Amino acid sequence: MNRTITIIPRPLSIEYGDKTIGISKKSVSICINGETRNDIHNTLKTAFKITGIDTSEKGLPVFVDIRIKDNDENNEAYSLNITEEGIRIKAEGINGAFYGCISAGQIISGADGELPQVSISDKPVHSWRGFLLDTCRSFYSTTFIKKMLDACALHKLNILHWHLTDDQGWRFEVPEYPLLTEVGSKRQDNTLPEAIDGFYDEGKESRRWYTDEEIKDIVRYAKERCINIIPEVEFPGHSSALLAAYPEFGCTGGPYHVENRWGIFPDVLCLGNDKIFDIYQAALEKITKLFPSDYIHIGGDECPHERWDVCPKCLERMKKEGLDSTAELQAWGTTKIASMVAALGKTPIGWDEVLENNKHNALPANVIVQSWRGIEGGIKAASMNHKVIMSPCERFYLNFKNKDSFEEPGRLGVTTTKKLYTFSPAGKELKLENPDQKNLILGGECALWTEKLPHSRNAEYLLFPRFCAASETLWLPEEEKDFEDFKVRIEYHKKLLHQLDYRFYEGELE
C-alpha cells in the first residue's frame, strides 16, 4: 500500500508506526468524549461527508476527545492517531476536532484496504486562511457557493470573503432602497446568460440577487463547516450598479447603467452628498443583521477622482474639511465609512489603497488592510501597526491563467501553482524592519474575480489545483513547505477532487 499521508494541506508533524490497519469499507462511526452536544456531533459528521466518507454505527471507530478551552491560539489544533483500535482525535476546540476529522477523512479516502499506523500533530501558522468569491461579475447559484464552502472546509480554509457589490451588480436586498436589487442587480448583455430551467428563474425575468433567506442559509452552512463569511460592500468606487439604481448619488446625476464591461469607470459616489451615507448606513445595518462575522469589508480600491475634480459638491466638501486634493477626499470618505462600520460593532477591512493620502484623515487604527497590488501595502500597513491580510494579485489571484497559452482560460496574467505555493504571507519576501510586525500578518486570501466566467464549472477549472496550493501555503510555516512533496500528494488528491465532482486543471504546475 501507499504509506505516504497525502493530506492537503500537509500536517505540521507526521510520525509513522510499523503496522498497517485493515479496513473493509470507507465508513466511520463517531464516538465523542468531553463535549457531546448534538451540534458538535453533526459538525464532525459533516467533516467526513465533505471528504466523501459515510458515517454509520458499523464503520471504523473514530474517537473524538474535545476539551473546549478559552484559548483562541489552540482552537484549530488537533492530534490524530491511527491504531488497531481505530482513529483517535484530540482537540481543544470544535474547529480543531473538525479539522482532525477532515484529515482522517482524506486518509480514509486515499486508502486501498489499509490505513497506516500514524501519529499526527497539527495546527495552522495563520489564523486567517481565506478565499474571495466575486458574485458580481458573474452571478452564481447558492448551490455553487455551498460547493465552494465544502472546498474551503476540505482544505481547512476558514474564511469566505463574499464580494457582493460592484459595477456589474448589487447582490443583496436593502429594504429602504429597493432599486438596489430591482435595478442594480441586472445588466443588459450576453455575459450573464439566462437560465432555461435554473434556480433563479422567476417567470420571464430572472432574479440576480440573493434573498435574505438564501444568505442566512449560506451563513448557517458555513458555520457548520467552521467558516466565517466576510461580506464586502464597495465604497466609494466600483459603484455603477448603485448609481444606476439611484443616480442622485453620483456627481453628474446620470444617466448611469449597470456596467456590462470590465474595468475601472469614472463615475463613482459623490462624496459631497451627505445622503450617500444614509444609503450606506442602511446597507451596513442590513449586512450586520445577515452576517454574524466580526468584520465588514469596505472596498476602497480603484477609485478614479476625475468627477470629484469638477463636482461643486465635492469641491465644497474639500473646502469645508480643509483637504488639499480629491485624493484626500477619498481618505476622508474612508475614515467616515470605517467609523460607521465600527459603530455597528464590526471591524472594517479595506484594500491597500486605504493607506494613501491620509494627511488630514488618519486611517483608523482598527482598519485591517488587505494588500492586493503586491506585498508593499502589507509591509506599509504593518509598519503603521495595522493588521494585514496578504492577497498579492500576481501570486494569489486565481482568475489569472494557469500557464501562458492563448488556449487557456483566465485573464490579466499567469500564476502557476508553484508561483502561488512558494509565497508565504509572513515569509522572507516581506523583509520587515521590525520582526515583531510579522505578528500583524493575519494570513492571506486567494481570490477568484469572475469576469468572463458565467459558468461555475469553468471557474472550478481555474481554481484547482491552485486553490489546494493556497491552502497549504496558508497552513504551514514557510520553512515546512516542500513543493516537490506537494506535487506528489496533489496527484493523489486529484482523485479525491474527481470523486467529489470538482473540475481541475491537469497541466504543468511550474
Q: Where are the domains of the chain?
A: 13-122, 128-499
Predicted local distance difference test score (pLDDT) of residue 31: 87
Region at 97 (left for phi over 0; alpha for psi -120 to 50; beta for the rest): alpha
Low-confidence ranges of the chain (pLDDT < 70): 1-4, 34-36, 57, 70-71, 189-206
Cα torsion 287, 288, 291, 294: sign: positive
Closest CA to 173 of 95, 300, 283, 299: 283
Q: How many residues does the chain have?
A: 510
Query: Global pTM?
Result: 0.94
For residue 61, cis peptide bond before it (omega within 30 degrees of 0) = no
Q: How far is CA 383 from CA 261, 350, 401, 437, 440, in A?
A: 37, 16, 33, 7, 9
Predicted local distance difference test score (pLDDT) of residue 70: 64
Burial 44-60 (b: 16+ CB within 10 A, else e): bbbbbebbbbebeeebb
Within this chain, domains 13-122 and 128-499 share the same CATH topology? no
Closest CA to 135 of 427, 451, 355: 451
- Straight-line distance from the first to the last Cα atom of the chain, in angstroms, rounded to the nearest whole number: 29
Predicted local distance difference test score (pLDDT) of residue 39: 81
Closest CA to 103 of 496, 401, 507: 496
Beta strands, E only, 210-344: 228-232, 295-297
* 166 neighbors 241 (Cβ within 8 angstroms): yes
- 128-499: which CATH topology? TIM Barrel (3.20.20)
* 104 neighbors 135 (Cβ within 8 angstroms): no
* 64 neighbors 89 (Cβ within 8 angstroms): yes
Q: Judge: domain 13-122, CATH 3.20.20.30.
A: no
Residue 16: all three cell numbers together:
509513522
- CA 189 – CA 207 distance, rounded (Å): 15
3-state helix, strand, coil in the chain (%, to 5): 35, 20, 45
Residues taking part in catalysis = 302
> Which residues on neighbouring strands pair with residue 371, listed in sequence order?
390
* 12 neighbors 122 (Cβ within 8 angstroms): yes
> Which residues on neighbouring strands pair with residue 230, listed in sequence order?
161
Helix (H, G, I), strand (E, B), or coil: what is residue 196?
Answer: coil
